[in-house]
Amino acid sequence: MKKILQDLSFSETETLVLSLGEKKFRAKQLFDGLTQGKGINEISSLSKDLKAKLCLEYEDKPVTIKEIYRSADGTEKFLFSLADGNIVEGVLMKYKYGYTQCVSTQVGCRMGCKFCASTLGGLVRNLTAGEILSQILVVNALHKEDKNGQGKEARAVTNIVLMGSGEPLDNYEETVKFLRLVTSEEGLRISARNISLSTCGIVPKMYKLAEEGIPVNLTVSLHATDDRTRARTMPVAKAYKIEEILKACEYYFKKTGRRYYFEYTLIEGENCDETHADALVKLLSGKPCHVNLIRLNEVKERDLKALDEKNAYRFLGRLEKGGISATLRRQIGVDIGGACGQLRASYLGEE
């Protein structure tokens, strides 16, 4: 595989351009072109000669859109092709305030959560920072008429969630590099406040993230209120205790001033009767956090069942009565292929 230009920061791009014997201002033309989602050969301000030199070493287009599935509610799901033929998926959700894109950080995943389709084939490889970024660049380019946000540089995608396939903190270096690129002054300039990073709870990396000076919204996939129940669906629970996770969240809050979030997937007969709701209230009471409940998206390769809607609202009500800030996520785009990793899994199945 060739190298990926989108991995480079603006100053690294300058260094590269100078090393190829070009004038410094070409770096801005190149970087701006890439930021607009163009392939090297589509940047018309650059000379043929420079484009040819770059293409010798770098991928013209490291990420391309292979398939788009459009839901009746406007949600779009994407299959992205990587230069080596691997496939990752993403989702674009359209809200009044802008568009939120869900991106992948790894091809597959090695965390092994029992309810998740991304992990079915294990981890294939990490994505590079530029591959994570490029998922957003190509979606912005696809929707270049849609100007959300403020200013003359308003773009389609205003918010990002790292909730596609992969465990972002298991690909720590590239994920943090991606966060620096996507928030950078010369790049898309997306505020860290508009970015959510979701982790299954890799405690040492949560502490490390708190030190990076990029105050993204930290979300932990909790899905249980005690370690034994949690370990039934999440093998990572054997490595890190809920108590340790909560301490790391507190530290993150102290360092960044940002409240933190928990994802809690409602799985029938597993984690969502009244005793679980009460235990969750007890666990999180008084903490600066918010709980996002989501009814399981049933994965056909797994035998876990979703809690019905009525009981999901009952669970929510019990949390709220206990003084916990919580919401039940609306399920959107359900007509176009369910949860994390399902699209890729069904695609690979057809192959």
Catalytically active residues are 89, 340
174 lines the binding site for ligand SAH (CB under 6 A): no
User: Would you state the structure tokens that stand for residue 99, as one six-digit string?
Assistant: 């568009």
Instruction: Write down the least CB distance from residue 96 to ligand SAH, Å.
Output: 23
CB of 214 vs ligand SAH, minimal distance in Å: 17
Residues 136-165 interacting with ligand SAH (rule: CB under 6 A):
163
CB closer to ligand SAH out of 4 and 339: 339
Residue 249 in the binding site for ligand SAH (CB under 6 A): no
**Residue of 339, 343, 344, 345 that binds ligand SAH (CB under 6 A):** 339
CB of 236 to ligand SAH, least distance (A): 8
If binding is defined by CB under 6 A, does position 263 make contact with ligand SAH?
yes
Q: Minimal distance in Å, beta carbon 106 to ligand SAH?
A: 9
CB of 204 to ligand SAH, least distance (A): 16
Which residue in the set 6, 221, 225, 271 belongs to the binding site for ligand SAH (CB under 6 A)? 221
Looking at the Cβ atoms of 102 and 156, the one nearer to ligand SAH is 102
How far is it, in rounded angstroms, from Cα 230 to Cα 77? 29
Matching residue, tokens 């773009």: 155
Nearest to residue 326, comparing CAs of 295, 292, 287, 302? 292
* CA 289 centroid distance within chain: 20
Smallest separation, CB 165 to ligand SAH (Å): 7
Total residues in contact with ligand SAH, by rule CB under 6 A = 17
User: Rule CB under 6 A: is residue 101 a binding residue for ligand SAH?
Assistant: no
Under rule CB under 6 A, residue 299 binds ligand SAH: yes
| Using rule CB under 6 A, residue 195 touches ligand SAH | no
Q: Which is nearer to ligand SAH, 50 or 246 (CB)?
A: 246
**Judged by CB under 6 A, does residue 126 bind ligand SAH?**
no
Determine if 63 is a binding residue for ligand SAH (CB under 6 A). Answer: no
Nearer to ligand SAH, 16 or 93 (CB): 93
Task: Choose between 90 and 98: whose C-beta lies nearer to ligand SAH.
Answer: 90
**Whole-number minimum distance, CB 270 to ligand SAH, in Å?**
12
Question: What distances in angstroms separate CA 331 from CA 118, 200, 213, 222, 292, one per listed residue?
Answer: 19, 21, 33, 19, 12
Phi, psi of 13 (to 5 degrees): -65, -40
- Asked if residue 175 binds ligand SAH (CB under 6 A), the reply is no
Q: Does residue 103 belong to the site contacting ligand SAH (CB under 6 A)?
A: no
Contact 89, 341 (CB under 8 A): yes
Q: Considering the rule CB under 6 A, would residue 245 count as an interface residue with ligand SAH? A: no
What is the rounded distance in angstroms from the CA atom of residue 172 to the CA atom of residue 105? Answer: 10
326 sits near ligand SAH (criterion: CB under 6 A): no
Per CB under 6 A, residues contacting ligand SAH are: 113, 115-116, 163, 167, 198-200, 221, 263, 265, 294, 296-297, 299, 339-340
